[in-house]
């Protein structure tokens, strides 16, 4: 399992590159395969489409069972809404005698946070707004907990083709008992040369500009916009002075 990082080559770890070099077969969602096109010479490549997750993992396991060294690639980190869990679940359920290594990658939240400044300096949570696998009422409970605990959070999968209101509803829950002035930002294609940022607040955010290539960073009640970006103070200045 190889996490390729979020946007561009500079965010790819040496560990991920070494695993690619060592592999005989590379399996992945077509856009992720395209992103590493210059690393695939001499390898068998299996590109799959969206929603082919189970089949993709199945194919990778079958190649591995036939004795090949396989890299199953994910964007970001393979263990953050990626395929790592499914690989381990199938291997366990089927009692497969395979050596499986999870190579960590930088998750998109880290690239987005860096692009914005330092919004994740304190405790923070990550929630996917995708209700394909998790019922919406369960997602709402998680969001309520974040509002109750006044945590910063990063929202993955903020937009669905079927449901246009996910993000609007999520921001409304995150506003409960908190100032609507809390900073919010969407980062699209974080870490890539085409990265774009939309800024706003919990009470006033351009949700229609957010798509599935974006994630949304929401501050806590101490987070503020500064000339250099979004900051959630760690508390040093308050404790020791500037």
What are the CA-CA distances from residue 236 to residues 125, 199, 207, 227 (Å)?
Answer: 22, 26, 33, 19
Per rule CB under 6 A, is residue 108 in the interface with ligand SAM?
A: yes
Least Å distance, CB 179 to ligand SAM, is 25
Per rule CB under 6 A, is residue 117 in the interface with ligand SAM?
A: no
Half-sphere exposure for 9 (CA within 13 Å, toward CB): 5
Q: Are strands 70-74 and 224-226 parallel, antiparallel or unpaired?
A: unpaired
Segment near ligand SAM (CB under 6 A); pick from 25-33, 39-47, 173-181, 207-215: 207-215
What are the CA-CA distances from residue 189 to residues 2, 89, 95, 213 (Å)?
Answer: 19, 30, 38, 6
Per rule CB under 6 A, is residue 217 in the interface with ligand SAM?
A: no
Among residues 195 and 222, whose Cβ is nearest to ligand SAM? 195
Per rule CB under 6 A, is residue 120 in the interface with ligand SAM?
A: no
Per rule CB under 6 A, is residue 82 in the interface with ligand SAM?
A: yes
Cα first-last separation, the chain: 44
> Any idea what DSSP says for residue 219?
-
Least Å distance, CB 178 to ligand SAM, is 23
**Radius of gyration for the alpha carbons in the chain, expressed in angstroms and rounded:** 19
Per rule CB under 6 A, is residue 212 in the interface with ligand SAM?
A: yes
Q: Which of 7, 28, 117, 183 binds ligand SAM (CB under 6 A)?
A: 7
Least Å distance, CB 236 to ligand SAM, is 29
B/e letters for 204-220, b = 16+ CB within 10 Å, e = fewer, are ebebeebeeebbbbbbb
Among residues 64 and 190, whose Cβ is nearest to ligand SAM? 190
137-156 mask for ligand SAM (x: CB under 6 A)? Answer: -------------------x
Determine the distance from the C-alpha atom of residue 203 to the mean position of all C-alpha atoms in its chain, rounded to a whole number. Answer: 24
Residues contributing to the site for ligand SAM (CB under 6 A): 6-7, 74-77, 80-82, 107-108, 112, 156-158, 187-191, 212-215
């Amino acid at each position: 399992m190889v996490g390729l990082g979020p946007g561009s080559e500079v965010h790819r770890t040496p560990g991920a590159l070494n695993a690619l070099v060592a592999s005989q077969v590379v399996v992945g969602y077509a856009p992720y395969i395209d992103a590493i096109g210059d690393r695939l010479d001499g390898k068998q490549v299996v590109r799959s489409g969206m929603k082919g997750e189970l089949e993709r993992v199945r194919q990778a396991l079958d190649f591995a069972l036939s004795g090949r060294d396989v890299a199953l690639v994910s964007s970001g980190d393979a263990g953050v809404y990626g395929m790592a869990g499914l690989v381990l679940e199938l291997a366990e359920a089927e009692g497969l005698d395979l050596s499986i290594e999870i190579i960590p990658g930088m998750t998109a939240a880290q690239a987005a946070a860096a692009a914005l400044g330092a919004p994740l300096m304190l405790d923070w949570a990550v929630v996917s707004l995708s209700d394909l696998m998790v019922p919406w009422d369960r997602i709402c409970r998680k969001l309520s907990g974040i509002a109750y605990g006044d945590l910063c959070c990063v929202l993955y999968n903020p937009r669905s083709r079927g449901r246009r209101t996910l993000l609007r509803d999520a921001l409304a829950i995150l506003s409960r008992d908190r100032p609507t002035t809390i900073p919010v930002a969407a980062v699209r294609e974080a870490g890539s040369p085409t990265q774009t940022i939309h800024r706003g607040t919990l009470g006033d955010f351009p949700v229609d500009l957010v798509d599935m290539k974006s994630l949304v960073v929401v501050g806590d009640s101490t987070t503020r916009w500064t000339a250099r970006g979004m900051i959630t103070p760690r508390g040093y200045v308050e404790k020791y002075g500037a």
